[in-house]
């Protein structure tokens, strides 16, 4: 499914938490159905970055890219941290998210919360900056949320299956009050332009 | 804290304030844009097949005072036109078997006095769920029997694959219904002939005498199929479905969509009459 993330209307929003969401249930095309044995206490993101050095970049560009990538990773850290309770009203939700991505993330965690579910596990990201123009940046990430799974909040029972899959995600970040925030995304489910992390 | 349940099942038109005619503003729909749009496949006439695959949604208004369960943090980046539009945010949950947990959830901004989604886009979304079937090919002589040169072959389609279908797509305050009406069947007979029938055709009744029956949808082969691959003609039937839509709610509008074409194929053998006893 190719999400059109360019639309500005909320109903066209391409959820950036889609990767999270998609990992929460098994989808057709899943390879295997291994149950991820992730300790309940593991709520930190594994950010495996293998970004290649950009030989033509200036130091200033490097710094800007580093800021964008740091915010992108922080976004996932936020999502994983909030997933432990799925409290969509957490002040952490909008620390590194805005726009459609924030709306979608809130709606997703609210749905999980209403169903008595929490999300635990790890997300592997490997982002690279595609462009930075003014207050808008575009990041491509071949990420894996297949070990970020839904559990029953009360019993701890796994209510999910790992997809074992990596998704290609083109993410738009906007700089708001000096902080880069994930605003929108286009997800290519199960497709990465690079080898999976 | 008092909780106010405000789950709104979208019954469009309930909140209509000032119905005004509007011209359709058709915008191309790309990709999976249907998030937050409720779709029901509502009717089938003249057949047993049809309606399936709807996607009913429920909506709940966000940020209802005194109800923390409806809390939604809103940033200017979320609104279509930040700061310029009156309106309200709604959480939506749409049933979708392909989605995680069987539910596609999100938030949708419903501007005051205007539909959250243009009627023409709603209509296009509804049309994706229309269960317009391919024609069920029926022939006389029936399947498995040879047709004969210079003898009229009757053509018709199963009643279950004929008859109007409709689907309705809704968001708060607006709804668009698309009606698909089959209008014709184009038969490509395999011998270079093309037969257009303005209807499903007439079923041949083997219990009645041939002389007492008549059809306006037929073809008479002039050559046998002996020279064809497998000694059979490939016959295709394409039904054309006209699509019209009407929208009600804050905006009243109507229009048409490009017709749907549905095709089935089969093969048949045409024999020279004198070779048959």
Beta bridge partner(s), residue B59: B8, B92
Query: Quick one: average pLDDT of A157-175?
Result: 83
**Exposure b/e, B124-149, CB count within 10 A at least 16 = b:** bbbbbbbbbbbbbbbbbbeeeebbbb
Tell me whether residue A18 is in a domain. yes
- Is A103 within 8 Å of chain B by CB? yes
For A86, the domain range is: 13-23+59-188
Q: If DSSP codes are grouped into helix, strand and coil, which group holds residue A150? A: strand
- Inspect the interface and report whether the beta carbons of B80 and A13 lie closer than 8 Å: no
CATH no. for residue A87? Answer: 3.10.450
| pLDDT, chain B, mean | 82
- Is B37 within 8 Å of chain A by CB? yes
Instruction: Indicate whether B275 pLDDT > 90.
Output: no
Q: What is the pLDDT of residue B185?
A: 98
- Confidence label for A139 from pLDDT (cuts 50, 70 and 90): very high
- Inspect the interface and report whether the beta carbons of B109 and A9 lie closer than 8 Å: yes
- Is A16 within 8 Å of chain B by CB? no
Report how far residue A101's alpha carbon sits from residue A96's, in angstroms, rounded to the nearest whole number. Answer: 10
Q: What is the pLDDT of residue A166?
A: 78
Instruction: Indicate whether B46 pLDDT > 80.
Output: no
Give the C-alpha distances (Å, rounded to integers) separating B184 from B50, B72, B158.
Answer: 18, 51, 13
The residue with greater pLDDT, B81 or A170, is A170
Q: Which residues of B touch A17 (CB under 8 A)?
A: none
- Inspect the interface and report whether the beta carbons of B171 and A174 lie closer than 8 Å: no
- Is A21 within 8 Å of chain B by CB? yes
In A, minimum Cα distance to B171 occurs at A11
Q: If DSSP codes are grouped into helix, strand and coil, which group holds residue A62? A: helix
Q: What is the pLDDT of residue B249?
A: 94
Instruction: Kindly list the domain boundaries of chain B, sorted by start residue.
Output: 7-21+34-275
Q: What is the pLDDT of residues A22-72, one digit of tens each?
A: 323 222 222 222 222 222 333 334 443 344 444 555 788 889 999 999 999
Q: Which two tokens stand for residue B115?
A: 């539909």
Provide CB contacts within 8 A for A14, sequence distance 6+: A3, A4, A5, A100, A184, A185, A186, A187
Q: Which residues of B touch A114 (CB under 8 A)?
A: 69
- Inspect the interface and report whether the beta carbons of B101 and A25 lie closer than 8 Å: yes
pTM for this model (two decimals): 0.69
From the list B31, B106, B107, the residue facing A4 with the nearest CB is: B31
**What is the SS3 assignment for B30-97?**
CCCCCCCCEEEEEEECCCCCCCCCCECEEEEECCCCCCHHHCCCCCHHHCCCCCCCCEEEEEEEEECC
Q: Which two tokens stand for residue B203?
A: 């079923």
From the list B32, B37, B105, the residue facing A111 with the nearest CB is: B105
Instruction: Indicate whether B96 pLDDT > 90.
Output: no
- Inspect the interface and report whether the beta carbons of B35 and A12 lie closer than 8 Å: yes
Q: What is the pLDDT of residue A70?
A: 97
Query: Quick one: average pLDDT of B187-195?
Result: 98
Nearest CA among A146, A160, A148, A156 for reference residue A196: A146
Query: Quick one: average pLDDT of B30-55?
Result: 62
Report how far residue B71's alpha carbon sits from residue B65's, in angstroms, rounded to the nearest whole number. Answer: 9
Tell me whether residue A160 is in a domain. yes
Nearest CA among B246, B168, B245, B158 for reference residue B203: B158
B3 neighbors B69 (Cβ within 8 angstroms) = yes
Q: What is the DSSP string of A76-103?
A: HHHHHHHHTTT-TT-GGGGTSB-HHHHH
Q: Which residues of B touch A150 (CB under 8 A)?
A: 101
Q: What is the pLDDT of residue A194?
A: 64
Query: How many beta carbons lie within 10 A of that of residue B153, not counting itself?
Result: 22
Number of domains, chain A: 1
- Is A84 within 8 Å of chain B by CB? no
Tell me whether residue A133 is in a domain. yes
Q: What is the pLDDT of residue B34?
A: 67
């Amino acid at each position: 499914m190719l999400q059109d993330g360019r639309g500005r209307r909320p109903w066209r929003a391409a959820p950036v938490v889609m990767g999270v969401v998609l990992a929460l249930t098994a989808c057709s095309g899943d390879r295997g159905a291994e149950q991820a044995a992730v300790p309940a206490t593991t709520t930190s993101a594994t950010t495996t970055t293998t970004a290649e050095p950009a030989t033509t970049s200036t130091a200033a560009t490097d710094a800007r890219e580093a800021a964008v990538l740091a915010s992108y990773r922080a976004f996932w850290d936020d999502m994983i941290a909030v997933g432990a309770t799925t409290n969509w009203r957490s002040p952490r939700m909008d620390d590194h998210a805005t726009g459609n991505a924030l709306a979608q993330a809130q709606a997703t965690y609210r749905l999980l919360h209403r169903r008595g579910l929490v999300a635990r596990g790890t997300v592997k990201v490997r982002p690279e900056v595609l462009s930075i123009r003014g207050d808008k940046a575009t990041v491509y990430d071949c990420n894996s949320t297949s070990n970020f799974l839904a559990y029953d909040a009360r019993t701890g029972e796994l209510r999910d299956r790992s997809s074992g899959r990596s998704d290609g995600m083109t993410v738009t970040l906007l700089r708001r009050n000096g902080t880069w925030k994930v605003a929108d995304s286009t997800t290519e489910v199960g497709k990465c332009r690079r080898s999976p992390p | 804290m008092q909780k106010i349940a405000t789950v709104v099942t979208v019954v469009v038109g309930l909140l209509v304030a000032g119905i005004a005619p509007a011209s359709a503003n058709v915008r191309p729909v790309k990709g999976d844009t249907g998030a937050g749009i409720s779709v029901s496949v509502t009717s089938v006439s003249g057949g047993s097949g049809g309606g399936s695959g709807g996607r009913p949604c429920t909506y709940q208004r966000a940020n209802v005072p005194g109800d923390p369960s409806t809390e939604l943090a809103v940033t200017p980046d979320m609104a279509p036109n930040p700061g310029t539009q009156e309106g309200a945010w709604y959480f939506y949950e749409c049933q979708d078997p392909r989605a995680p947990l069987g539910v596609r959830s999100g938030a949708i901004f419903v501007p005051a006095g205007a539909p959250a989604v243009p009627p023409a886009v709603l209509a296009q979304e509804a049309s994706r769920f229309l269960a317009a079937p391919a024609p069920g090919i029926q022939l006389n002589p029936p399947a498995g029997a040879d047709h004969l040169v210079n003898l009229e072959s009757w053509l018709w389609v199963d009643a279950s694959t004929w008859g109007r279908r409709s689907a309705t797509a809704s968001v708060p305050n607006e709804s668009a219904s698309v009606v698909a009406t089959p209008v014709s069947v184009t038969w490509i007979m395999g011998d270079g002939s093309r037969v257009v029938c303005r209807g499903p055709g007439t079923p041949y009744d083997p219990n009645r005498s041939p002389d007492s029956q008549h059809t306006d949808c037929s073809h008479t082969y002039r050559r046998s199929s002996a020279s064809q691959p497998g000694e059979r003609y490939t016959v295709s039937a394409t039904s054309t479905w006209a699509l019209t839509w009407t929208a009600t709610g804050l905006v009243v509008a109507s229009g048409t969509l490009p017709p749907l074409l549905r095709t089935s194929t089969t093969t048949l053998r045409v024999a020279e009459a004198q070779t048959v006893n």
